[in-house]
């Protein structure tokens, strides 16, 4: 069982080592060749990383690791949001005894708004009629998407480490409290079938919100994952989404549950999801204090893949214990993508901290690609790397700094 129980739990950890062999400049004909259409010379640069670090190149001593974010990195659009949308359209959210208890940081304003919108007529533990109650659906989705109520009041307040969690991300698995993993998995499967069948570009109405109706696997990322696996890489997904949901989708690119890392809910003694989730490093089980988010993604990779325990799991490891290739699209991915030793793959969604690192290209191994579906136009203003692109633990903004402490200058958008 991969999910902790409140009364008895164990944490399983893999101990695969990622060798980082010396770079090679010659083409390795025995390494699988990456296909597909990539921006500029990105395919050749990725092939070089595969040739250098894959076991196909004759290097031994453990399989190299490749780690991918999921939402908007492997797929276009967010699969956790697709599952939540399905749940809201089919009355799958159970009424909690207290909205305030669903999150450590939920404000009184959010509690009042949710209670007023969703009502108290439905018994605690019974499904809320969100398919027909647009007010309830609106409040839930607005809090998830924007961290505020429909009236604009802050939905979350208090202290949290902004490089380890974001309350509205942690809140989605908490909304499924009372369900079993099997039930949540079934909702994710149905949502997946709907999203893959919906035309590219299509939308649907959720309360008064207009949201994407479709999700697509990126063909180029599917091919990259397949090529890496053939070249001897252990490929992992590391996501800030709900783990049962991410597992449903990751199977579609040949990645099993053991190689899928995301928010793992604690189960009660009856096997039902609670509002608690597993911790990482020196942080124990909590109600969302740490999730695979910014520095949290590094922690989960270090702990679950490399077997690093305690506070050390939050620290950058030596080159042999870091991913060879890492891919992401947002600031939530910046730490683990920066940790990669062979190639840092970035899909450009104009996320400032990540793009500052990418365009600064400190080691010459950043591979920047426009989104494969509906890419964004060029960002007109430079990224504010020198002043306000860095996401500080206290929630403030600051300059992005290199390893030597120097400030990254503002960067122009160039891959679009």
Query: If you ran DSSP here, which 8-state letter would residue 127 be given?
Result: B
Give pLDDT tens digits for 371-402. 999 999 999 999 999 999 999 999 999 999 99
42-74+218-398 classified as CATH 3.40.50.1000: yes
Q: What is the pLDDT of residue 350?
A: 98
pLDDT band of 7, cuts 50, 70, 90: very low
Mean pLDDT of 337-364: 98
Q: What is the pLDDT of residue 254?
A: 98
Average pLDDT, the chain: 93
Give pLDDT tens digits for 298-322. 999 999 999 999 999 999 999 999 9
Q: Spell out the domain ranges in the chain.
A: 42-74+218-398, 79-212
Contacts of 73 (CB under 8 A, 6+ apart): 221, 327, 328, 329, 333, 347
Residues 383 and 406 sit within 8 Å (Cβ to Cβ): no
Q: What is the pTM of this model?
A: 0.92
Which parts of 121-206 are beta strand (E)? 203-206
Q: What is the pLDDT of residue 57?
A: 81
Look up residue 190 and give its two tokens. Answer: 């149905």
Distance CA 80, CA 410 (A): 33
Residues 342 and 353 sit within 8 Å (Cβ to Cβ): no
Give pLDDT tens digits for 212-234. 999 999 999 999 999 999 999 99
């Amino acid at each position: 069982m991969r999910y902790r129980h409140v009364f008895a739990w164990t944490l399983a950890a893999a101990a695969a080592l990622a060798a980082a062999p010396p770079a090679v400049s010659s083409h390795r004909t025995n390494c699988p060749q990456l296909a597909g259409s990539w921006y500029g010379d990105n395919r050749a640069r990725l092939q070089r990383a595969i040739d250098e670090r894959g076991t196909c190149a004759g290097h031994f001593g453990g399989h190299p690791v490749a780690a991918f974010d999921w939402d908007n990195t492997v797929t276009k659009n967010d699969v956790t949001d697709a599952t939540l949308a399905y749940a809201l359209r089919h009355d799958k959210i159970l009424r909690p005894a207290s909205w305030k208890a669903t999150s450590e940081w939920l404000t009184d304003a959010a509690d009042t708004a949710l209670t007023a919108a969703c009502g108290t007529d439905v018994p605690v533990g019974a499904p809320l009629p969100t398919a027909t109650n647009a007010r309830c659906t609106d409040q839930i989705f607005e809090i998830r998407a924007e961290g505020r109520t429909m009236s604009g009041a802050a939905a979350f307040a208090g202290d949290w480490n902004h490089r380890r969690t974001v309350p509205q991300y942690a809140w989605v698995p908490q909304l499924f409290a009372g369900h079993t993993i099997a039930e949540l998995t079934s909702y994710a499967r149905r949502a997946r079938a709907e999203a893959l069948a919906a035309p590219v570009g299509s939308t649907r109405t959720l309360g008064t919100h207009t949201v994407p109706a479709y999700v697509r696997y990126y063909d180029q990322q599917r091919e990259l994952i397949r090529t890496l696996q053939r070249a001897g890489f252990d490929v992992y997904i590391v996501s800030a989404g709900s783990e049962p949901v991410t597992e449903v989708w990751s199977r579609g690119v040949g990645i099993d549950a053991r190689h899928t890392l995301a928010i793992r809910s604690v189960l009660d003694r009856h096997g039902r999801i609670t509002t608690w989730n597993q911790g990482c490093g020196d942080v124990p089980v909590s109600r969302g204090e740490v999730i695979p988010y910014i520095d949290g993604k590094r922690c989960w990779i270090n702990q679950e893949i490399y077997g690093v325990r305690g506070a050390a799991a939050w620290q950058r490891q030596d080159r042999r214990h870091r991913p060879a290739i890492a891919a992401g699209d947002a600031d939530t991915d910046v730490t683990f993508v920066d940790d990669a030793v062979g190639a840092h793959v970035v899909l450009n969604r104009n996320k400032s901290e990540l793009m500052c690192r990418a365009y600064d290209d400190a080691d010459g191994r950043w591979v920047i690609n426009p989104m494969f579906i509906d890419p964004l136009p060029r960002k007109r203003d430079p990224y504010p790397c020198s002043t306000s692109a860095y996401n500080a633990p206290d929630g403030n903004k600051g300059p992005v700094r290199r390893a030597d402490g120097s400030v990254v200058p503002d960067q122009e958008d160039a891959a679009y």
